[in-house]
């Protein structure tokens, strides 16, 4: 069961990301954080992992070192370590996109099972969202992403391959299925009605 720590983390995440929306959609960012926590819980997350799922983008997007220390103070070292492990950059300006993603992929090979669980839950929700958005807006979707179409597809395929080098879990298999579907759909674009 989840304790009041989870509720506190949910409130904290909602405060941190209050003005943030999902890329190009206008959807409040908290929807993504809730989805990632839900996916993580569905695949066996404990409370620390679920809290980290709610906060997985806090260091990267909402304050760097300051957010890190707030998380440590409020939720402890274990949650902080998981959130740090899910962070691909905590400085501004961020390093170049491709370099950042390659470094993150290499990091996943030695990341803890908790980091991999939260990261995979995050990537699964992102991939589902990309697939859904692609079906709605078509090729225009790729302008939302620094990696564009080719870079984004490369990154998600590389994530699947990296995760599979470590372990093959039901979560990773679900991510692989969504990435396969995304690649297939992008090769055979959906015709948008005008």
pTM: 0.93
pLDDT given at position 194: 46
Instruction: Return the CATH number of 4-187, one of 1.10.1060.10, 1.10.1040.10, 3.30.450.20, 1.10.3210.10.
Output: 1.10.3210.10
Catalytically active residues are 60-61
Contact 83, 68 (CB under 8 A): yes
Burial environment of residue 143 by CB neighbours within 10 A (0 to 12, 13 to 18, 19 or more): exposed
- Beta bridge partner(s), residue 28: 21
Mean pLDDT lowest for which of 10-19, 116-125, 152-161? Answer: 10-19
Domain range annotation of the chain: 4-187
pLDDT band at 126 (very low <50, low <70, confident <90, very high): very high
pLDDT band at 20 (very low <50, low <70, confident <90, very high): confident
Mean pLDDT lowest for which of 58-62, 95-99, 140-144? Answer: 58-62
């Amino acid at each position: 069961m989840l304790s009041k720590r989870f509720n506190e983390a949910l409130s904290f995440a909602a405060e941190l990301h209050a003005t943030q929306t999902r890329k190009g959609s206008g959807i409040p960012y908290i929807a993504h954080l809730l989805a990632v926590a839900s996916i993580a819980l569905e695949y066996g997350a404990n409370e620390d992992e679920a809290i980290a799922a709610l906060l997985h983008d806090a260091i990267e997007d909402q304050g760097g070192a300051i957010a890190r220390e707030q998380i440590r103070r409020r939720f402890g070292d274990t949650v902080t370590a998981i959130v740090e492990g899910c962070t691909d950059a905590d400085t501004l300006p961020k390093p170049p996109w491709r370099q950042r993603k390659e470094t993150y992929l290499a990091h996943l090979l030695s990341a803890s099972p908790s980091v991999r669980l939260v990261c995979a839950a995050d990537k699964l929700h992102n991939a589902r969202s990309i697939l859904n958005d692609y079906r709605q807006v078509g090729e225009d979707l790729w302008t939302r992403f620094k990696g564009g179409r080719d870079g984004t597809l490369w990154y998600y395929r590389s994530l699947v391959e990296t995760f599979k080098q470590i372990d093959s879990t039901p979560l990773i298999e679900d991510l692989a299925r969504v990435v396969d579907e995304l690649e297939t759909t992008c090769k055979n674009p959906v015709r948008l009605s005008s």
